Amino acid sequence: MSDFISSTNKIEDFMCLVTGSEKLSGRMGWLTVSCRDLAEKIFPGACVMVFPSDSNDPLLGRPFAVADVDIEKGELSVCYMVLGRGTEMMMQLIAGKEVRLRGPFGVPLLPVDGKVNIAAGGVGIATFLYFAKKYPEKTANIYLGVPGKGYEKFVDRILELVPEVHIFTDDGSFGEGNSMFKVLPKNMDENERVWSSGPPGFINALRKHYADEKDKLYFALDKRMACGYGGCMGCVVKTNNGPKRLCVDQLLFRADEVADDEN
Ligand SMILES: Cc1cc2nc3c(=O)[nH]c(=O)nc-3n(C[C@H](O)[C@H](O)[C@H](O)COP(=O)(O)OP(=O)(O)OC[C@H]3O[C@@H](n4cnc5c(N)ncnc54)[C@H](O)[C@@H]3O)c2cc1C
Ligand code: FES
């Protein structure tokens, strides 16, 4: 079975009620909204655009992976890192406010033959959390690297959702060591693979680590997105199989199908 299929989701705008807005570290936030209609449409790998203001400024939504879904409560959550204006505005959202979300967009992560290992840097883990929660029998080991001190609350939130995650901290202040690269699987079997997401430096390090097993490493790429439904061509990635749009064609890219400077 393929690791990805193209998306055929119907993408709509939803007014959602903020039910939780939490600072998990100096730069990390966790936003939970209530919207049963949207929550019921979320699949592993799904993303939403968050429109953080009720005016048209900023005009464009900001794309985020859906980190968690609670179908019973009709809630969904995104985990985000504050980078600029849009994410700063998200940090100001408080419970009881309304916020517009567009989605779901993106390409479903499907269970594959065998099991997947997951390697993530920081907030990149959000892409895979719902998959790991929904398909534990298809998930081998999950490795998460974070800077260290100051990120305890972020790590605790991840472990609440998926307790099996192996934590590594750059400063060695907690977790299982200061580098996941000492324990990431190598010489993998035919059905084994690593799905990954994180900042460009992390993806580059993984590409070097798996230079001899490029067909086993898959990564989620991060591009600026304007529309989310395939119209603007802003999120195109050049691959050996032609151009692919992140929002509708493909979520995970195999290391041997994209140029080394795509990360
Ligand atoms: C499919 C997808 C899923 C994503 N999922 C998550 C997620 O789960 N959690 C999360 O924290 N972030 C995620 N991102 C990145 C997130 O969308 C951006 O960080 C966010 O849009 C920045 O908005 P801003 O208004 O704060 O920053 P802006 O003011 O727009 O930009 C501030 C700085 O961030 C840079 N930047 C903006 N957008 C991106 C981007 N997409 N990638 C890299 N750098 C960017 C800009 O170049 C600029 O230097 C995802 C991006 C994509 C495309
Ligand atoms: S964001 Fe417009 S085509 Fe992907």
Question: Which residue ranges make up each domain of the chain?
Answer: 12-105, 115-220
Q: List all residues whose CB is within 6 A of at least one atom of ligand 2.
A: 225-228, 230-235, 245-247
Average pLDDT, the chain: 93
Q: Is the CB of 146 under 6 A from ligand 1?
A: no
For ligand 2, atom 3, the nearest C-alpha belongs to: 230
CB proximity list for 120: less than 8 A, separation 6 or greater = 127, 128, 142, 143, 144, 145, 196, 197, 198
pTM of the entire structure? Answer: 0.94
- Cβ burial of 17 (10 Å; 0-12, 13-18, 19+) is middle
- For the 12-105 domain, the top CATH level (class) is mainly beta
Answer whether 61's CB lies under 8 Å from 51's CB. Answer: yes
Of 79, 222, 248, the residue with max ligand 1 atoms within 8 A of its CB, to mutate for a pocket test, comes to 222
Q: Which CATH number fits domain 115-220: 3.30.950.10, 3.40.50.980, 3.10.20.30, 3.40.50.80?
A: 3.40.50.80
User: What pLDDT score does 3 carry?
Assistant: 53
Question: What is the greatest pairwise CA distance in the chain?
Answer: 52
Q: Is the CB of 126 under 6 A from ligand 1?
A: yes
Report strand pairing: 75-81 vs 252-254: unpaired
Residues of the chain with pLDDT under 70: 1-9, 262-263
pLDDT tens column, 170-209: 999 999 999 999 999 999 999 999 999 999 999 999 999 9
User: What pLDDT score does 102 carry?
Assistant: 94
Q: Is the CB of 206 under 6 A from ligand 1?
A: no
User: What pLDDT score does 6 carry?
Assistant: 52
